[in-house]
Structure 1
Amino acid sequence: MQLLLGAYAYFLDRQSAFWRAAGQHLTLSLAALAISMLIGVPLGIWIARRARVAQLVINLFGALRLVPSLAVLFLALPYFGTGFRPALLALSILAFPPVLINTYAGLRGVDRAVVEAAYGMGMQPLQVLRQVELPLALPAILAGIRVAAVEVIASATLAAFIAAGGLGQFVYTGYTLNRPEVMLVGAVPVALLALAAEVLLGGAQRALRLPGA
């Protein structure tokens, strides 16, 4: 309890810095997630129609998930330096595989009889994609986005190690000064943000599945 009271007191003394860091954290996380979606969803759609290429692409980007987030951040340093850009690059790479893989899996999981029926009704390929395949694959795609969002929000904490700001600044400061209450000022909001993303996107995913349940 004393630790929490100390964290709250520290927060009250530095509210402006806290909200600025929270804004940086959300901006970085949302930007990385948006980039991963803008690239991952179209690429997932493309490889879903090309079985020979699909396995190679999935294996390549799936391997990225084995690389620790901090390692990706520091690998970007020699090319992009410190700050927002290398953190954005690293987090986008981190978020990309689940979005890509779930988009591919969702489209491949669509019942082919339904797709053939749509073609039989005279629908064009783009119409089939937009009106049949994507709506049916949307729960799986959203599941990938949910996983990516939680991972990015949590990993954005590490951006403070390369001067990209965010709530990780408090974790870094607390660790450097050996003050656990300061670490909590950054760690607790990050955990709550990740939990909120999980609950909101998980709820949306379940709601999309209800009509077909």
Structure 2
Amino acid sequence: MHGSDPRIPEHTPAPGDGPGPRPEGEHEVKGHLFRDTGEGEPEPPLPAAATGRGRRIGWPKLTVLPAFLVLLLLLTWLWFAQADLDSISKNALADGNVWLRLRQHIELTVISTFFVLIIAIPLGILLTRKKLRKGAPFAMALANIGQATPAIGLLALLVIWIGIGEKAALIGIIIYAVLPVLSNTIAGLNANDPTLLEAARGIGMSPWGVLGKVELPLAVPLILAGVRTALVLNVGTATLATFGGGGGLGDLITTGITNQRMPVLMLGSILTIALALLVDWLASLAELVLRPRGLEAGS
């Protein structure tokens, strides 16, 4: 018979038999054919901070506030150049007294902030360790008492105890500014993910290595925020150093108030405000520069 037997199926070429070209988008894995039905979704672009091409500090951050401060000081200088000052106002501002008080104010702020950092940050680290963790509420209560006490009352008590001078003013400023740095250090270290710390210990890192390479870098943003707050507090509290014989811009403010000389009062107040804004701006730049790069993608 020349006809084919219907019970015998015709031979169908297996996929991949023969040299024939395979259709576009079709491929074979272990004898099974697969066809691509559409294009894959494009991968999302990496954050600028992750690629290293992001600008960490934009030009508005670098220019807006300094330009405002320059304009403020320029307008103040122009106003003083045309103001009619009497002999009392001239005596209060003569012989470089303004620069002397400004320098004293900056010294009070820098020195007090330095001691706040070397006291509050190590203490915050110690109070997050297992052996001393129970003492954290007591230390926080003391720090809260220090800041809850009116600054002028605290300074008066220190003057009675230590005597008039810069030393009493510095101790008062330090006590008043310890709380934000201490509380933020404790909060930053306690907020770390325990699984990350356990993983670091699991790969053989020592306790000091975990603290220096994992815990502190993750807590840096909160710690820097506390330092920034303490800096601004110190600038404001340093104006009260005049009542304890510590000098600073508070001398100009009290002279203007007691003698009812508005130009002297305005100059002391404007310089204090400008210094506080400048310190806050510098601290905000430090926050951006010192923040670990791995934490920038989400910020």
TM-score by length of 2: 0.66
- The one of 101, 110, 114 aligned to 1:34: 114
User: Aligned pair 1:150/2:232, yes or no?
Assistant: yes
Q: Residue in 1 aligned with 2:79?
A: 5
Shift in alpha-carbon separation, 1:210–1:130, aligned structure 2, 3 A: closer
* CA positional deviation for 1:8: 7.7
User: Aligned pair 1:126/2:208, yes or no?
Assistant: yes
Rg bigger for which structure? 2
User: Aligned pair 1:211/2:285, yes or no?
Assistant: no
Contact 1:44–1:104 (Cα < 8 Å) also in 2: yes
For residues 137-176 of structure 1, the aligned pairs below 5 Å read 137-176=219-258
For residues 90-109 of structure 1, the aligned pairs below 5 Å read 90-109=172-191
Q: Which amino acid aligns with 1:112?
A: P
Provide the rounded CA distance (Å) in 2 between the counterparts of 1:135 and 1:179. Answer: 50
Task: Report the structure, 1 or 2, having the larger helix content.
Answer: 1
For residues 182-201 of structure 1, the aligned pairs below 5 Å read 182-201=264-283
Shift in alpha-carbon separation, 1:203–1:3, aligned structure 2, 3 A: closer
Greater relative contact order structure (CA < 8 Å, 6+ sep):
1
Provide the rounded CA distance (Å) in 2 between the counterparts of 1:3 and 1:181. Answer: 11
Contact 2:217–2:292 (Cα < 8 Å) also in 1: no
Shift in alpha-carbon separation, 1:177–1:106, aligned structure 2, 3 A: same
- The one of 21, 24, 27 aligned to 2:104: 24
* CA positional deviation for 1:202: 2.2
Shift in alpha-carbon separation, 1:137–1:15, aligned structure 2, 3 A: farther
The unaligned stretches of length 5 or more in structure 2 are 1-74
The unaligned stretches of length 5 or more in structure 1 are none
Provide the rounded CA distance (Å) in 1 between the counterparts of 2:231 and 2:220. Answer: 16
Q: Residue in 2 aligned with 1:78?
A: 160
User: Aligned pair 1:115/2:189, yes or no?
Assistant: no
Shift in alpha-carbon separation, 1:69–1:54, aligned structure 2, 3 A: same
RMSD of aligned alpha carbons: 2.3
Aligned residues: 213
Provide the rounded CA distance (Å) in 1 between the counterparts of 2:77 and 2:169. Answer: 30
* Larger displacement relative to structure 2 (152-161 or 63-72): 63-72
- The one of 256, 273, 284 aligned to 1:202: 284
Provide the rounded CA distance (Å) in 2 between the counterparts of 1:163 and 1:43. Answer: 30
Q: Deviations over 1:43-62 (max 9, x none)?
A: 00001123321112112212
For residues 57-68 of structure 1, the aligned pairs below 5 Å read 57-68=139-150
Provide the rounded CA distance (Å) in 1 between the counterparts of 2:160 and 2:244. Answer: 12
Provide the rounded CA distance (Å) in 1 between the counterparts of 2:112 and 2:76. Answer: 36
Q: Deviations over 1:77-105 (max 9, x none)?
A: 11111110100010010111111111111
Provide the rounded CA distance (Å) in 1 between the counterparts of 2:160 and 2:119. Answer: 24
TM-score by length of 1: 0.91
Contact 1:80–1:86 (Cα < 8 Å) also in 2: yes
* CA positional deviation for 1:162: 1.7
Provide the rounded CA distance (Å) in 1 between the counterparts of 2:192 and 2:286. Answer: 19
